[in-house]
Amino acid sequence: MNDYPPEYDYEILDNQYFVESFPDADSPFQLYRQVYKYSDCGAYLSVLINYVEVLEPSGLDDYPHEVERSQWIHSDELAKLGTWAEMDHRGVLVTGFLLGSIVEGVDQETGVYELEVRQLDEEPKQFAERFYKALEDVEREAEFIWNQTHGCETCAKHWQVDEYHGDAEFTWGLDGVTPVWKDCPDCNGYGAVI
């Protein structure tokens, strides 16, 4: 993007990048609420923040000094960060995101999808596209896990009718209890939400 070393841009890195990436979310917490509410799997969101902590003088030195810190903040805890603008004012910069989901009723989780923020190499719109692509991957994986562990209503009805007749072929969901009918016309043998 630029014809000079990226370290010269350090001072211009700020969270306004995310205002442009996610115009409907004025804070990390609001972005998390949207991700959770509008994803079928109830995805979670964590952000990696960088900030400078001022350490008070100790017995070894007489002056306070600064230490750069990084910390992951998860889901509901994101509310304590405030808005993107408030974070900029305090010198807190988001440098990464994690997306994933716990598949309810199965005790399984999707993989964790980590996104590094590359403000100097990527436009906000491009980052948003990568973010939503990762969210789609989380949803797809959560749906796969759910479908592999739950038969649909048609599977269940057919199982009740044919369990004593032995003419239907069933596989067992990952939980070892739920039947999935391989010839089911509704879920095509992949299972679906009951």
User: 142, 168, 186: which is the final residue of a domain?
Assistant: 142
**45 or 148: which carries more pLDDT confidence?**
45
**Structure token digits, residue 140:** 């797809």
**Residue 180: how many other CB atoms lie within 10 Å:** 24
pTM over the 0.95 mark: no
Decide if 1 is inside a domain: no
- Is the model's pLDDT at 140 over the cut of 90? yes
pLDDT band at 103 (very low <50, low <70, confident <90, very high): confident
Q: Are residues 84 and 157 in the same domain?
A: no
**Residue 113: how many other CB atoms lie within 10 Å:** 20
CA atoms within 13 A on the CB side of 63: 2
- The whole-number average pLDDT for the span 165-193 is 61
Decide if 79 is inside a domain: yes
Number of domains observed in the structure of the chain? 2
The residues with which 100 forms a beta bridge, in sequence order, are: 44
How many Å apart are CA 63 and CA 109, to the nearest integer?
47
Q: Are residues 110 and 167 in the same domain?
A: no
Q: Are residues 62 and 136 in the same domain?
A: yes
Q: Are residues 51 and 115 in the same domain?
A: yes
Domain span at 175? 150-194
- Is the model's pLDDT at 159 over the cut of 60? yes
Give pLDDT, residue 3: 60
